[in-house]
A and B are shown apart, each in its own frame.
Chain A
Amino acid sequence: MQRRDVLKSLAVVLGGAVSHSCSQAVEVPAAQRVAVAGVMTDEQRAAVYRCADLIIPVTDTPGAIDAGVDEFLDYVISVWYQEDEREVFFAGLAQMLAEAQGAYGQHFIALKESEQVALLQAAQGRELTSNPLDFGESGGGFFKKIKELTVTGYYTSKVGATIERKYVPMPGFYDGDYKFSEVGRLWAK
């Protein structure tokens, strides 16, 4: 599926910002429309987006949401994920949202940044294993999943590849002794 189709399908179900005709709506498989609409409430979505920006915040370069990671998350969580992965993801999210209510009596998205960070750190703490590469059968719990998705979405986005990293589509030559100081950031490939 092309990225623009993802956008289109999301716009269809969310009644969102992108205008579209009915004929385009027909192109989106029915199962997928149901999936996107049924998977996340607005509040869940807002919390997930907020976590993405806490993981990759705006610094001297744009953060996750400015790079379009929100669309990436929608796609993966609603369409690409299989049911078992989705269950793990939402169970962990629910726990974090419940903790927000319990500790601060408010929804996660209404909290101060430092409070949100503390809650996300707590989610991380629940999943720390001795082996950081151990993502488990289903790719870890909520924290590892949101972190991995945010990172993947960010570094493969246009912002992540061309602003955060450096993208040279046709390098022209190979230099195996090139200095890191000449580039100062990661290469995008």
Chain B
Amino acid sequence: MGKIDTIDTTQEVDAIVIGSGITGGWAAKELSEKGLKVLMLERGKPLEHGTGYVGEHQPPWERNNKGMRPRELYKDEYEIQSTSYAFDETTRHFWNNDAQNPYDFNEQDPFHWVRADVVGGRSLLWARQSYRWSDLDFEANKKEGIGIDWPIRYKDLAPWYSYVEKFIGVSGQAMGLDHLPDGEFQKPMEMNVVERHVASAIAENFSDRVMTIGRTATLTEPLPGRAACHYCGPCHRGCSTGSYFSSLSSTLPAAKATGNFDLRANALVESLEYDADTKRVSAVRVIDTVTGERSRYSAKLIFLCASTVGSTQILLNSTDADSGRSFANTSDALGRYMMDHTYRAGARGIIPGFEEYYPYGNRPNGIYIPRFRNVDGDDGLGFTRGYGYQGSAGRLSWDTMSKITPGFGADFKAGLRKPGPWYMNLGGFGEILPYAHNTVALHKSKKDRFGIPQVTFHFEFGENEKRHREDVVEQAVAMLKAAGATRIDPFNAEMVGGAAIHEMGTARMGHDPKEAVLNAHNQAHAASNLFVTDGSAMASASCVNPSLTYMALTARAVDYAVTQLQAGAI
């Protein structure tokens, strides 16, 4: 791309999509396929599918600094982003520069805002784990009197899950569980020999749980324009064969193919203008991040898909001159009820034996143990809701073995030629409840380089989260023991909000405009032509990875919006 696509500001567009990540890509595809002229605004730099993936298939000996992390650069300019496992010199060009685009980070009250800064957003970086919600999730708030009731149920979303899964391609194993509904699966990837051993030990010893292969938006069978995975891994460097779902590989090409789609990169949305008489968003204010030039666009429909924090920041910054309040905040819920998942608790252990096996290929997927706590009522464990485990088995390699093998010389070298023992790792992702005091807000004085107020966070973990994490660790240890593991190493790292990169909930859906920002169709209660379909819409968090649900909500919202537009109701 290189140059900025220029678009005449007077040009008539039907719909504006803000953000090109997982949800924005879906909004653009659906809107343009329904015949609307779509303009996508993305703050990040242009990036082309394929040629933009400069780290893809890069052999270890060609890495920058031979793979040594430039520590000072990371500390000075990528302090937050470099905390992600997916951040290194093969992917750095995808990520936000925290010095250039800062937020108010406070070490005493830390929150990690993990984000990309390119066309495609975090769809390039995500780990692709894709699970459906069930009514166990949608009904929980109402049953327990926590937060507000979801305005939808599983039956409302089920057809949209199917619709999305067929397009993105999800490989997985059908299991017939009510609380983790099966999807439209491509053939599952394989568990390796040790994972199967652990799975059968779990099945024999724990009647309430089962271990399966992860459900991942990675193709095991080709789809139009996208090849089946060739197991090169890791994926977050980009995939020019389009074998994992990203906006660049999938939704944006579909949108482009309609001829109804324009993309403007380096286009930072500052705020929305609101017309209180018509109760509509009348314009979108944009800053060109290269030239600093400001422009305005208007459209019949606005899809705000800038990610949970990005969209909430835009809404908070869209204030009424008189009241100083965001037009969208009729409820006081805007910016509150921030959730994420608990993460980095679990256990790993050495699994003796199986020395003759050494898997071939880099499978971009692990195992999954679906939630088994509080599934059929309260298990009486002192916490509500639950968690699921992700993990994998593999063999230790030179990096670890060289440290635990004393000595040096020819024998040492020969010893490292054989892989070390098998290990199995189980890490829990747990549901965090919606708390009013967990917030994202605009900082009172700190501004970014364009004068936009920086965001600031407050995030606390409650007793419920602390308790379920203890259970996460205990049960991981118990399952590893049952599988015959030795040298079991439980872990329960310090919790940091945002670290699971599943931030959500700060513009929640709900029936009542006094309690919620969005209605049952992700439409703003305050503005009929505004739809917010990213994670900010979530009224609770479930314990499964969220992006599949965001996609289904987005496709469903577009369908509703276009129907309403055609009916003259918007």
Contact = CB atoms under 8 A, between A and B. Distances in A.
Contact of B361 (A55, A128, A172): A172
Contact of B231 (A55, A155, A171): A171
A180 B190 CA distance: 18
A148 B68 CA distance: 12
A50 interface: no
Interface in B229-250: 230-233
A180 B192 CA distance: 13
A175 B361 contact: yes
A164 B355 CA distance: 20
A170 B60 CA distance: 14
Contacts of B413: 56-57, 59, 164
A173 B233 CA distance: 11
B57 A169 contact: yes
Nearest to B189: A174
B412 interface: yes
B399 to A, nearest CB: 8
Interface string B400-422: 00111011111011101111000
Interface in A40-61: 54-57, 59
Nearest to B233: A189
A158 interface: yes
A124 B416 contact: no
A180 to B, nearest CB: 4
A2 interface: yes
B358 A55 contact: no
Contacts of A171: 230-232, 360-362
Interface string A122-140: 0010001000110100000
Given A148-B403, A151-B402, A176 B416 contact: no
Contacts of B60: 155-157, 161, 188-189
A172 B71 CA distance: 34
A54 B410 CA distance: 8
B402 A148 contact: yes
B357 A179 contact: yes
Interface residues of A, number: 57
B398 interface: yes
Nearest to B406: A132
Contacts of B192: 176-177
Interface residues of B, number: 51
A119 B407 CA distance: 13
What is the interface of chain B mostly: helix, strand, loop, or mixed?
loop
B65 A174 contact: no
Interface string A8-49: 000000000000000000000000000000000000000000
Given A75-B66, A80-B65, A158-B59, A174 B359 contact: yes
A141 interface: no
Contacts of A112: none
Given A55-B408, A155-B398, A189-B362, A176 B191 contact: yes
Contact of A180 (B196, B406, B418): B418
Contacts of B66: 3, 72, 75, 152-153, 156
A185 B412 CA distance: 14
Contact of A176 (B63, B64, B67, B190): B190
A160 B355 CA distance: 23
B30 interface: no
Given A169-B59, A177-B193, A185-B417, A128 B406 contact: yes
B61 interface: yes
A63 to B, nearest CB: 8
A117 B359 CA distance: 36
B262 interface: no
Contacts of A189: 60, 233, 362
A136 to B, nearest CB: 12
Contacts of A120: 408
A103 interface: no
B360 A76 contact: no
A187 B363 CA distance: 13
Contacts of B191: 176
Given A147-B402, A158-B61, A175-B359, A170 B418 contact: no
B195 interface: yes
A63 B414 CA distance: 12
Contacts of B409: 54-55, 57, 117
Given A76-B68, A133-B403, A147-B402, A170 B356 contact: no
B214 to A, nearest CB: 13
Contacts of B232: 169-171
Nearest to B62: A3
Contact of A156 (B63, B196, B363): B63
A55 B398 CA distance: 14
Contacts of B402: 147-148, 151
For the complex of A and B, list the 7 residue pairs with the smallest distance between their C-beta atoms, beginning with the closest: A176-B192, A171-B361, A174-B361, A178-B360, A180-B358, A55-B408, A158-B61
30 contacts: A1-B64, A3-B61, A55-B412, A57-B409, A57-B410, A75-B68, A80-B68, A80-B70, A120-B408, A124-B407, A132-B404, A133-B404, A148-B402, A152-B399, A153-B66, A155-B398, A156-B60, A165-B398, A168-B360, A171-B360, A171-B361, A172-B230, A172-B361, A173-B230, A174-B189, A177-B193, A179-B358, A180-B357, A181-B356, A184-B417
Given A171-B360, A177-B357, 8 more contacts: A1-B64, A80-B65, A152-B399, A173-B360, A174-B359, A174-B363, A182-B360, A188-B59
